[in-house]
Amino acid sequence: AWTQQLGLAPIAASMANASHGASAPDEVVRGVETLLRAIEPGSQTAMVGSLVVAAVLDKVTGLACAIDGGSDVVMQAQALHALHRRACAGEVVEAAAWRAVRSSAVAATDKLTDPGLQSLSACLEAGAWDPSTAPATVGEVLRAWMGYEAQCLVKEFGWTPDDHALVQRLLDEMHASYIDGHPEETRDVFQLLTVHHPDVEARLRAYSEFSRNAYVRSCRLALDLLGRVLVSAGPRALS
């Protein structure tokens, strides 16, 4: 719809889709207005893709610096940032350079064990493409960054792997005890969990709501970053 009905270039459509992933309708309307005001009609938006990716990479670098063992992610982010800056300057970056930094980013991710660094490195893997030939790059980078931000917010809730394992075990028990072999049962496993383990169900419900709100907040952060980059770039940078 962004491309066919509004005439936005694929790269702008990708940015819009990513930044409005879980937004409420009124927020989407405001976000669309911000995006459209920042893009002059008829302007070419290919180059701004690298501007957005570079802005996310700046954040990745700062965040990785604060995590023990993040030096390799910082180094990979800086190497990728240099390619996008070359693209921002109007230089045609050869495909081999993108492949090399992409391969290096994947190899670095495979060595990571810290969940936060793994999420940050996912931003690098997503951004190791030329946005001028791969318009979805920007959207994927924004989604990866939003995933990291949401992960950090969810961590504040205190949900642990033990919580996940407990819920999964109890749901399996609900199915085995009350649904399997009982065609007359109309309740699903979550409704049964409410009856038999109300404290666990209440915590699960609170966690689910917190997670949804965390993702919405991450979408707002992405929209804010996108708007600031587009506005600061100005029409000339987009043409």
Extract the tokens encoding 20.
């409005």
- The DSSP symbol for 214 reads H
The pTM of this model reads 0.73
Backbone angles phi, psi at 8, to 5 degrees: -75, 145
The domain locations on the chain are 2-148+219-238, 157-212
pLDDT at 239: 40
Query: Within 13 A of 67's CA, how many CA atoms are on the CB side?
Result: 23
31 three-state secondary structure:
helix
Provide the residue-wise pLDDT of the chain in tens; the chain has 239 residues. Answer: 444 444 444 545 555 555 555 455 566 556 556 665 655 555 555 577 888 899 999 999 999 999 999 999 999 999 999 999 999 888 999 999 999 999 999 999 999 999 999 999 999 999 999 988 888 888 889 889 888 988 888 888 999 889 999 999 999 999 999 999 999 999 999 999 999 999 999 999 999 999 888 888 887 788 788 777 776 665 444 44
Look up residue 176 and give its DSSP letter.
I
Return the closest-CA partner of residue 207 out of 164, 144, 177.
164
For the chain, strand residue ranges (E) read none
